[in-house]
Amino acid sequence: MIVVSSEHIYGETIVTSLGTVSGTAICSRSQAGNFLGKLRAIAGGRMSGYEKIMREARDAAIAEMIADAKKNGADAIVAFRIANGGMTVGDDDEFVEVLAYGTAVQIKKSV
């Protein structure tokens, strides 16, 4: 599956736009991970636990978006974008949300 952030695919001709496709992932750390993350925030530096969760959420959201596009008969996704945010529930539960979206298209098949 071709996935590009531009509105065109170099060297390809888009013949049909199939509409918007998307994927969403919401992930969290354990209570212990949240506690250790807060300690790291006090000390400063990279927060590898949160970075890992963001990568996992991003990869899951993109995979879900691609599956949505394939289900609709797409060959590619153009105008690909990612949005993310954080959520807190109560005092301790922290979540990250990642949304991947774009436009599913069919491209001209070479003969």
Which amino acid is present at 54? M
Q: What angle do CA 78, 76, 69 make, to 5 degrees?
A: 100
Q: Does domain 2-107 have CATH number 3.90.1150.10?
A: no
What end-to-end distance do the CA atoms of the chain give, in Å?
19
What pLDDT, in 10s, does the model give residues 72-88?
999 999 999 999 987 77
Summarize pLDDT for 91-101 with one digit per residue, the tens.
Answer: 666 778 999 99
Percent of the chain with pLDDT over 90: 58
